[in-house]
Structure formats: C-alpha cells, structure tokens
Amino acid sequence: MEKIGIIGCGISGMTLAKKLREAGAAVEIFEKEKAPGGIARGFKAEGWQDSVEFFYHHWFQKDHDLLGLIEELGLKDRVKFRTPKTVMYHKGKFYPFDTIPAAIAYPGLGFGIHKVRFGLAGVYLKLTKNWQALEKVTAKEWMTKYAGEFAYKTMWEPMMLGKFGSEYADRVNMAWLWARIYSRTTSLGTFDGGMQDLYDIFAAKLKDAGVKIRFGAMVNAIEQADYGKFRLSGEGEQWSDFDKVIVTTSPQSMLGLCDALPEGYKSQLAELKHLGAVVLCVRLKQPLSPQGYYWYNLPKSEGYPFLALVEHTNFVPKERYNNETIIYAGDYLPRGHEYFSLSADELLKKLIPGFRKINPDFSEDWIIGASKFAADYAQPVPFINHSKAIPAMKTPIDGLYFVSMSQIYPWDRGMNFAVRWANQLAEQVLGNRE
C-alpha cells in the first residue's frame, strides 16, 4: 500500500485525500491551522446558526465539479441557491448589473453603439471556449478593440485597477477575464450551516475512511532519502517513509519546502506573481444597504477605501446570524500595504468613510464588532501566455507533486476548479494519466 502525504487541508487537499484513499492508498494530511478549509475556512459567533468565511465565498450553478463532490458526500440537500443583487457604481449612484435587462439599462455604458458593442462582445465571450487564443492578448487590448474604449474605460478598467492595481492591471491577459464572464451565473450558492460545516463534515468523513489528519502540523521541509522515500520535517517533529508527497499551498511556500527542486522549476515558482487579500468582517445591528444589495463593485477612483462591499445577510438571511447584519469590506493588495499591519479596529476606522458613502445614515453605534483577516497569497496575476509559465503539477522530483491557485488557470481561483484540478492530479499520482 502506497503511503502518501498531503500538505494542506483545504478543498484541494481533502479532495485528493478522498480519491487516493478510495484507490487504496494510505493518506496523511498535514495542516498548519487547527481546522480544515484553508483560505476558505470560517468562524461562528455565539448565537449564530451558520458560520461565515474569513474571506467571502459563494458558488455558481456551473460549479459542477464542486457540486458533484458535495453530492458524493451525501450533502446535496444542504446546498442553497439564491439570486441576490449585484450593483455597479455610476456618478454617485448604484445600479443593478446582474441580468441582461439590468445591463442594458445601466447608464454607465452610455447609449447606442456603446451598448451594442458591449453586448456583442459579452455574447461572444459567453459562447466561445477558445481561451487559448485570448491569453495571447491583454484584457485591455481585447476589450478596447471589440467592446470599445468607452465600455472598457467605464466598465472593466475600474475593476482591473481595483483588483490588480496600476502595476498589473494593463498586463493581465484576456483569458482570465473571459473565464470570469464565461463561468459565472446570477444564481449563487452556499452551504446551509456555513461552509465551515462542509469542511468539518468532509474532514470527519475522511477520518472515518482511514485518512489521518494532523492539525496544527506546520511542515517546514521535504527531503528525499537515498532509498526514495520522503521525510517531512516540522517544528521539532519528523514524519517519514512517504512514497509520494503532494503540496497544495502557495508557490512561495513550495519554494521554501524542498531545496532539492531543480533551479528551472524553482525559477518558474519564483516568477509567478500574486496579490494578497485583506478583509474586514463587520457585525452590525441593522442593514447597511437601504436597497438590500448584496455585492457592491466599488471604484477606488471615487474615494472608496476598498474594492468590494459584500452584505452577506442580503444573501443568507440574517435570521441565521441572530438577526445581525454581516458585511465584508475587502481588497486585493500587494504585500507591504499598510492594511496588512493594521489591527481590526485601526482598519475599521479607515473604512468607515466608505460605509458612509454607501449609506449616509450609517452610524458607528450600529457596530457590534469587527474581525480582520489577511492572506499574502490570494490572487494570482496571469500575464500574456500564462499557460506556458505555469509549473507542472508533477515536479521534476519523482513522487513530489504541487498544485495551487496559480495553476487553476484560466479560471479565477474558486473552489470548483480546486476540486477539478485535484481530481486530475489524483489520476496522475495514481499513474492513470500524464
């Protein structure tokens, strides 16, 4: 029986463990945190029926890989789909932008030829599957040429600047933007009880199947003995005799784990660019959005101190949270940005003016509490021909594998594609495909 070690107990690591254990392998997962879920894990306050994620998440109806996994786990009846309202900013007001009629009515696209070009480009992107051609050009170049400069400047450029900053916004390839448009649906899903419930149940089922999960186990090094077996080292601990090891963390983490990786593979890992994320989750006594909006896309050029405002309780009913309103203010930021070093209270003070821009009646008396969450590795940056820059999941060291958000391409992160790539990698590890 092969002994396989997996570093990381997020959805990728757990999916890999499930498939490999079903094939008869002895599987052991190492997770530095005290709970499963990775960057998608969450927390539950006293009196809540559901947990909320540290970093807001939802699913789409096209997320067939993830939904299929949940069905395999016997949890399909706990998936809930709803259709909350998403809005765009234009000249001091917010307008719905989550249906075709709403997009046609959105004043930010102007009139006549601008809306026609925007619409035709959108239809093409919804229908085409040829993303390989789209990665040869930047999103700015493609959208300006086909949707029009006016549509790009008013619609897409604020999002690109907000998400990638001025350093990268004009360099992101069109395949990345295509994937966002192609895969998304207006109906959004979540897990009844909160997504942390899903991860906890999944981890418990893995343990019942014989998978060993070590929480609070920080792996610092991967070494291979002369006889081919792998040894993992942590803080004062070692775990030995693994036939294969799979790493599901960030490229930067992978770089520091295995000194024996060839320089060419290390260079590929080092050249991958990414941004971090900072999110403030705020509990309020009453709703922030007067209109009941769920997702606000916010232009930083208008003075908003964050990229998105998400009122979670306009998606999942606030009755699930002891009638509290739960909002997120989130942003993708480069490492070293001051938001990473601020406390929750310090960050809250900086973001309150943004809350008042959304609702002038907002009062600090509404605040029950706030929690800050940050991750250095949250948004990969895909440049021209990114597919050629992605390191292979099977590393040059026989028996050592690596999968991360940077390889879930052209898709933009997402649990669904983490599951899909984990299934593909499981087939490689088992020797069923190259």
**Please, what is the Cα angle at 194 between 191 and 197, to 5 degrees?**
95
188-191 and 59-60 strand pairing: antiparallel
DSSP 135: T
Interatomic CA distance for residues 277 and 256, integer angstroms: 21
Give me the amino acid identity at 62: K
- 57-63+72-98+186-192+273-388 folds as Polyamine Oxidase; Chain A, domain 2 (3.90.660)
**CB–CB of 394/407 below 8 Å?**
no
pLDDT of residue 100: 67
Interatomic CA distance for residues 37 and 44, integer angstroms: 14
Give me the amino acid identity at 73: L
How do the pLDDT tens digits run along the chain, 434 residues long? 899 999 999 999 999 999 999 999 999 999 999 999 998 999 999 999 999 999 988 999 999 999 999 999 999 999 999 999 999 888 888 988 877 677 778 887 777 788 788 888 888 988 999 999 999 999 999 999 998 898 888 888 888 988 898 899 999 999 999 998 888 888 999 999 999 999 999 999 999 999 999 999 999 999 998 788 999 999 889 999 999 999 999 999 999 999 999 999 999 999 999 999 999 999 999 999 989 999 998 988 888 999 999 999 999 999 999 999 999 999 999 988 999 999 999 999 999 999 999 999 999 999 999 999 999 999 999 999 999 999 999 999 999 999 998 888 888 778 999 999 999 999 999 985 54
Q: Which of the listed CATH numbers 3.30.70.360, 3.50.50.60, 3.40.720.10, 3.90.600.10 matches domain 3-51+193-272+391-429?
A: 3.50.50.60
For the chain, give every residue range classified as CATH 3.90.660.20.
57-63+72-98+186-192+273-388
pLDDT of residue 90: 85
pLDDT of residue 99: 72
116 — phi, psi (to 5°)? Answer: -65, -45
pLDDT of residue 432: 58
pLDDT of residue 210: 97
Instruction: List the beta strands (DSSP E) in 137-256.
Output: 188-191, 212-215, 221-224, 230-233, 238-242, 244-247
> Cis bond leading into 158, ω under 30°?
no
For the chain, give every residue range classified as CATH 3.50.50.60.
3-51+193-272+391-429
CA end-to-end distance (rounded Å), the chain: 21
Tell which phi-psi region holds residue 25, choosing left (phi > 0), alpha (psi between -120 and 50) or beta. Answer: beta
3-7 and 26-31 strand pairing: parallel
pLDDT of residue 151: 85
